[in-house]
Each structure stands twice: as C-alpha cells, then as structure tokens.
Amino acid sequence: MAGTLDLDACAREPIHIPGSIQPHGHLLAVEAGSLRLVCASAEAGAVLNRPPADAFGLAVDQLIDTASMASLVRGLRAAPAEPVQLDILTLRNGTDYQAIAHRSGDLVILELEELPATGAGTLEALYPQMREGIRRMQAAHDFDTLLASTASEVRALTGFDRVLVYRFDEQWNGTVIAEDGNGRLPSYRGLRFPASDIPQQARRLYGLNRLRLIADARYQPVPLLSGRRDAPPLDLSFAVLRSVSPVHLEYMRNMGTPASMSISVMDGDRLWGLISCHHAEPRQASFAVRTACDLLGQVLSSQMIALERALDADHRIRSKGTQARLLAHMAAAERFIDGLGEDREDLLGLVNADGAAILFDGDCRLIGRTPPQEVVEAIAAELAGQGIKDLFASHQLPAEMPAAAGMERTASGLLAISISQLHPSYLLWFRPEIVQSIDWAGDPKKPLDAGGRLSPRSSFEAWKETVSGQSLPWRHGEIEAAGDFRNAIVSIVLRKAEEMAALNEELRRSNGELAAFSYSVSHDLRAPFRHVTSYAELLRSRAADKLNERERHYLDSIIEAASSAGRLVDGLLHFSQLGRATLARVEVDVGRLVEEVRHLLAPDLQGRNLRWTVHPLPSVNGDPTMLRLVVQNLLSNAIKYTRDSAEPEIEVGCRTTTDAHEFFVRDNGRGFDMAYAGKLFGVFQRLHREEEFEGIGIGLANVRRIVERHGGRVWAEGRLEHGATFHFSLPRSAAAESR
C-alpha cells in the first residue's frame, strides 16, 4: 500500500460521484433528447473508434459501429431511472458487450460491459434455474431454511466461492446468519462485523442501488472525461461500473477476496442486510446473472415479510387471548389493579418477562423477579421525570437510567407503559441480564496508525467479546402487545373515572338533598318536642298529688322520651350544620385547646381519680370551633368509657409525619371489638347499650365529618375490656383544601 488511507475521510467521501469507473467496460453519457455524447470514460475509444475528445458533441448512432443501432437508440430514448440491459451489442470488430442504460437527470448513461466468457447472457436462459430456485425459497417455512436456501441458490447462479447472508442490527453492525461455500474461503458464519466496515453513506447507496459488482479488487480506476466546461461531477449512484472507494478495495484485498458482489435485502424502505458473494480470484458475472440475483434478493425480502407477518399474527392471536383474560380479571375486581395482579403467569407471559410491577394511586405491587420496591418507585419517578406518557423499552437499562444502576440481575431490560392519563402510574415489566459472547470478525476497534489515522482492517480472525448488563431485546410483537394492552387499560381507567365522576355528582346531589332534609326536619321537630317536655313537666308540677304512682311513672316516661328525642334532634341539626358551615381557618394551638376542654369537662370527673398524660402537641391550621368539638367528643368519650376502670388513664399525643400531624386519644376503659371498628364513626352507631353508657351515637360521626373537611382522616384501635385509641390526622400544609 502506497500510503495510509484515512477512514474518517472515507466516511465523508462522496462515493456516488467518484469520477471514475472499473476497467471491465466503458461508460458513455449522452443528452436525453439529442443522444449527443457529453461524457465518456478515458478508454471508451475502443468502442467509439476514435479518442473520446473527438467524439464529444456527436450522436451515439455516429459513434458506435453495430448492426443493432436502431434498437439501441430506441432503448436509450426509453431508458428508466434504474439500469436495464438493452441488448447484447456485437461490434464490427467481433467484441460482445452488454448494453446497460439508465437515466440520470437530463442525461442517459450507457454502459458497455464486456460479456463474460462463462455464464448466461440473458434472463431467458436463466429462467428455468431461477424458477426452481424461487420455488425452493418459497417452500421454506422458517427463517433458517429460507436464508440457507437463498445463499445456496445465489451461489449456484453466480459460481462464487462463498455466499453470505449478512444482517444489520440497530447499531448497523452486521452478523453473518447464513452461508454457502465450497471451502476455498474461510467460513464467516456467526461472525459479527462492526458498523464502521460499511460507512453510513455506503449503506445509503446500498438502499438506492440494490446490486454492486467488483470484478477485480486490484483494478486501476478509469477516469471520466467531460465534453462540457465546468460540468458538475457525473452522478454514478446507479452505474454498474461505478468505481469504489480505495479503502474498500484494500479491505477486500486484506480479506483475501479479489472479487465480490453484493445484493441489498430490503425491509420496506430500510436496508435489512446484504447477500454478499466472494471469490478467491477475479470473477465477473453477467448483468443477467446479477439481475437474477437481485430478483432472488427481492423474493427473500417478500418471504421474510410473509414469515414475520405469520409469526406476528400468531403472537398477536396469543397475546389477544392473554389480554382478554387479564382484562376479565380487572373488570371483575373492585379495584382494577387487584385483578391485574391476580394472574401472574399471564401478566408476565404477555411480553415474556421475569418480573412486573404495578404502580397506581400510591400503591406498588411487585410480581416475580423485580428490583426492591424503593428502586422500582425510583425507576417510575424517572420515567415520569422524562415525560413518558405511553411506552418505554430498553434492553440495557442500568446504562441508560441512573435509578437502575446495579440492578443488572433483575432489571437489565425494562418495558414500561403508562396506565393513566391523569397521574404518573405505570405497569413495568423486567428482564434479567443475559451475559453473552459475541464473535467478531476481527477486533471491531480498528487500531490507529502512527499518524493517528484509521486504516482498513487487516485481520478477520474471530475476536471474542463478552457483553454484560443487557437483557434479551424486546421483540416488535412484544412491544406491540404492551402498547395494545396499555390502550385497553387506559380505556378501563378512563371509564372507571367517568363512572366515579357520575357517582360522585349523584352523591353530592343526594347529600345536598339529605342535608337540606335533615336540617328542615330537625329544625321543625325541635319546637314540638320542647312543647311536649314543657307541658308534661307543667302537668307533673301541678297535678302530682292527684296522680297515683303508675300515672306519675307514665308522665316521667313521657318527659324522658321527649327530652331524649329533643337531644337527638339537636344532634342531627348540629351534624347537618357541620356539613354546611364554612371553615374559618386560623392557626390553632392544639395543646392549649386540650387544656381548655379538660377544664370544661372537669365537673364530669368529680370524685374520680383519673390520671392524665398529655404530650407536647403542635399547632395546626384549621377552624378552632370545629376542632374544639373534635377534641371535646374524643376526651368526653374517653372519660365516659373509663368510669368503670379501677385506675383510669387517658393519654393524648401526636406523631408527625412528612405530610400530616397524627393525633391520638388513648384510654384504658371498656374498649371495643375490632370487628365493629367500621361502625364507630357512623351516624347513630353504638357499640354499647344505652343503659350502660349514655349518648345518642352522633359524636364520632361529627368528629369524622370535621376531620375530613380539614383534609384529614380518622381511625381507631381497641380491644374489648382493654381500652381504645382514637386517631385523627390533619395535613401539615396550610393549603389543605376545604371539602
């Protein structure tokens, strides 16, 4: 090699306008209308019978001496955008050339390529062999058989020593996935070639022009000559004789393959891979053979698409069945995430995952092999931070997401879908690390030369690399199934939200009507009950000496019943007013409030030796009148239910969390059975007989209503005959919304 070639410059090389051709033919460029010669290869005098400089400006029928000129002219005028063989031209000197033409802008490019001594010169001659080859390829029912058959049929057509089927991955590295050879060249099956071996602009050209032949890698390029002053370089993107990069020629020589031919395999508009043919010595294939190979490449593309569609259809049918079962579980469950996590096998099998996590409405469910909950929640938070509102997939998550660092054993792969359009909620699937060995055709990190420049690889011996931190990639069908499932879940969530909104609206309307009714009824009943009590007491005071003992008992019962009913009506009226009154929020010192209520209740403690423990209590933002009622009800209950205790004790305290102050009132009194804890805060719910403990059963309902209007919640714990603890929480934020 005369000097070191700079591959960085090669990557920028405009290879579609090399300004030269390979020497096994001649190139002529003529004006599309007049067919006058404007450009020619330097050695084209062999077919023009004069130097190219003397031929510029003349029409093609004045330049080429052949009996087929009339058909040649017709073909040039109708030339398409891609090369076609117009004819086999026999010149007067007896030399046969394949006449190949295509249109390039306002020019028609005619290439006269020497007809090889061996091999069919027309597609008609190749048809029987092609027909059988296509039949065998179409009979293949799996990828391996199809690819092996393709390699075999191409080698049979071309006679090359080795034919490889080479597939690109997402990073444009290529792997040899099928091979057919005669043993003259080493096997490359299973080896991977780095993306740098075929630069980006070369791949783009492979996508445009599906076939390229290099008959002899040792050739000397033949320059192009132009008859136009200041003419732009001739675009040879579709030229069959186009010269190739010197770097690629040296690459071929280093590989030990003087001749090569490649056929592009397309997946739609994307370059899927190559059928690459190599020979241990220079070799030329006729244009008819190359066209037949191009047809086989297109058959391979269509068969691959058909097989992939069949596999996708089968996977889609199975995944739809799995989705249907999961959705049925979700629809039957009161909370859809309970149903989603019910069938572990289907949830994981939907996308072939080892673990899953469901994060919804503050809940996190882990299924199968997953990272710890705090890591799962951090991953979900990072997805939300990235604004992932539909789907996310990665097979090397620890390298892409800081939250997953160190989680290779459980979360090297992540497939995530957002399951709510309102809140950051996700369904996550995990895959573990799969440590794999990759056999490269030589070290993919090409060494620098002494000048710091890249040079073509000279070694293609297997070079093993171990890859870790990656899972099996998510297949297209699995990602599609996850996307379909997301749409179904979001539809369920939205439908549930709409149903809940409708129910809430109906509930608000009903509650409003009920509150108005209870207020009206209780207000209208107060006066009659007071009248009954007043008149009965007046009758008792004036006629007591005229009544016998039984009659006085009847009268006392009337007074007691009316008084009790009056208290009940007053309680109802108060309960109704609590739901309608506006909160007047200020800063409230709860410790001081407790002391004031204790002072107020002191008369109820006369003659009792009750021990108080009141811990330091914080200030909160709330309505002081309503919060006083909460404290009064809880302390009053504690005093009432400890009166039968030998050593009554009441403790008041608070536990502060990030979001709330959680107050408690604990006593060692009668207590209650936790089986009935759900009734405690309901209206008119009593767990003890009225004869044992007085009350109308509305105090704790008032407590719950007040606390919930402050944005908090209430709950209780207890054991029968072992006391009870009543809790209520209030938000730490002053902006807690009034409900």
Domain ranges of the chain: 13-310, 333-474, 475-577, 581-731
Mean pLDDT of 619-636: 87
Do the domains at 13-310 and 581-731 have one common CATH topology? no
| Confidence at residue 695, expressed as pLDDT on a 0 to 100 scale | 44
Q: Which residues contact 485 (CB under 8 A, 6 or more apart)?
A: 323, 326, 350, 417, 427
Lowest mean pLDDT among 103-112, 140-149, 536-545: 536-545
| Confidence at residue 439, expressed as pLDDT on a 0 to 100 scale | 52
| Confidence at residue 305, expressed as pLDDT on a 0 to 100 scale | 83
| Confidence at residue 451, expressed as pLDDT on a 0 to 100 scale | 41
Strands 611-614 and 649-656: parallel
Lowest mean pLDDT among 199-203, 297-301, 707-711: 199-203
| Confidence at residue 737, expressed as pLDDT on a 0 to 100 scale | 36
Q: Which of 420, 337, 407 is nearest to 373 (CA)?
A: 407
Q: List the structure tokens of 59.
A: 């029409």
Q: Please determine, for residue 1, whether its predicted confidence score (pLDDT) is greater than 50.
A: no
Give me the chain's average pLDDT, please: 81
Helices (H), 45-188: 45-48, 52-55, 69-77, 123-138, 143-158
| Confidence at residue 112, expressed as pLDDT on a 0 to 100 scale | 93
Domain 581-731 classified CATH 3.30.565.10? yes
Calculate what percentage of the chain has a pLDDT beyond 90.
29
Mean pLDDT of 229-245: 88
Lowest mean pLDDT among 173-182, 346-355, 656-665, 686-695: 686-695
Interior/surface letters 240-262, b for 16+ CB within 10 angstroms, e for the rest: bbbbbbbbbbbbbebbebbbbbb
Q: Residues 304, 146: contact at Cβ < 8 Å?
A: yes
Please tell me which residue, 612 or 323, carries the higher pLDDT value. Answer: 612
Q: Radius of gyration (Cα) for the chain, nearest Å? A: 45
| Confidence at residue 683, expressed as pLDDT on a 0 to 100 scale | 56
Q: Which residues contact 560 (CB under 8 A, 6 or more apart)?
A: none
Q: List the structure tokens of 487.
A: 């749409």
Please tell me which residue, 384 or 492, carries the higher pLDDT value. Answer: 384
| Confidence at residue 681, expressed as pLDDT on a 0 to 100 scale | 78
Helices (H), 445-475: none
Name the band, by pLDDT with cuts 50, 70 and 90, for residue 530: low
| Confidence at residue 180, expressed as pLDDT on a 0 to 100 scale | 94
Mean pLDDT of 469-487: 85
Q: Which of 90, 86, 121 is nearest to 101 (CA)?
A: 86
Name the band, by pLDDT with cuts 50, 70 and 90, for residue 694: very low
| Confidence at residue 12, expressed as pLDDT on a 0 to 100 scale | 57
Spatial separation of the C-alpha atoms in residues 657 and 727, rounded to whole Å: 14
Mean pLDDT of 107-131: 84
In terms of average pLDDT, the best of 67-81, 245-259, 515-529, 559-573 is 67-81
Name the band, by pLDDT with cuts 50, 70 and 90, for residue 3: very low
Name the band, by pLDDT with cuts 50, 70 and 90, for residue 689: very low
Choosing among 3.60.40.10, 2.70.210.12, 3.30.1780.10, 3.30.450.270, the CATH entry for 333-474 is 3.30.450.270
Mean pLDDT of 535-548: 74
Mean pLDDT of 578-593: 79
Q: Please determine, for residue 529, whether its predicted confidence score (pLDDT) is greater than 90.
A: no
Please tell me which residue, 686 or 560, carries the higher pLDDT value. Answer: 560
Please tell me which residue, 120 or 365, carries the higher pLDDT value. Answer: 365
Spatial separation of the C-alpha atoms in residues 355 and 412, rounded to whole Å: 11
Spatial separation of the C-alpha atoms in residues 447 and 456, rounded to whole Å: 9
| Confidence at residue 569, expressed as pLDDT on a 0 to 100 scale | 55
Interior/surface letters 70-107, b for 16+ CB within 10 angstroms, e for the rest: eebeebbeebeeebebbbbbebeeeeebbbbbbbbeeb
Spatial separation of the C-alpha atoms in residues 318 and 312, rounded to whole Å: 10
**What contacts 24+ positions apart, CB below 8 Å, involve 683-687?**
683/575
| Confidence at residue 116, expressed as pLDDT on a 0 to 100 scale | 85
Q: Residues 238, 29: contact at Cβ < 8 Å?
A: no
Calculate what percentage of the chain has a pLDDT beyond 70.
80
- CA angle (470 as vertex; 464, 476 as ends), nearest 5: 110
Dihedral sign, Cα of residue 357, residue 359, residue 364, residue 365: negative
Spatial separation of the C-alpha atoms in residues 566 and 560, rounded to whole Å: 10
| Confidence at residue 84, expressed as pLDDT on a 0 to 100 scale | 92
Tell me the sheet residues that pair with 107.
31, 104
Q: Please determine, for residue 517, whether its predicted confidence score (pLDDT) is greater than 60.
A: no
Lowest mean pLDDT among 149-158, 521-530, 654-663, 718-727: 521-530
Spatial separation of the C-alpha atoms in residues 39 and 648, rounded to whole Å: 113
- The pTM of this model reads 0.58
Helices (H), 581-670: 590-600, 624-641
CATH for 13-310?
A: 3.30.450.40
| Confidence at residue 449, expressed as pLDDT on a 0 to 100 scale | 45
| Confidence at residue 136, expressed as pLDDT on a 0 to 100 scale | 92
Q: Residues 409, 431: contact at Cβ < 8 Å?
A: no
Spatial separation of the C-alpha atoms in residues 191 and 198, rounded to whole Å: 15
Spatial separation of the C-alpha atoms in residues 430 and 319, rounded to whole Å: 18
Distance of CA 534 to the CA centre of its chain: 75
Name the band, by pLDDT with cuts 50, 70 and 90, for residue 705: confident
| Confidence at residue 502, expressed as pLDDT on a 0 to 100 scale | 60
Q: Please determine, for residue 108, whether its predicted confidence score (pLDDT) is greater than 90.
A: yes
Mean pLDDT of 648-676: 90
Name the band, by pLDDT with cuts 50, 70 and 90, for residue 174: confident
Mean pLDDT of 264-275: 89
Spatial separation of the C-alpha atoms in residues 12 and 199, rounded to whole Å: 9
Spatial separation of the C-alpha atoms in residues 285 and 25, rounded to whole Å: 13
Residue 132 main-chain phi, psi, to 5 deg: -70, -40
Name the band, by pLDDT with cuts 50, 70 and 90, for residue 452: very low
Please tell me which residue, 545 or 42, carries the higher pLDDT value. Answer: 42
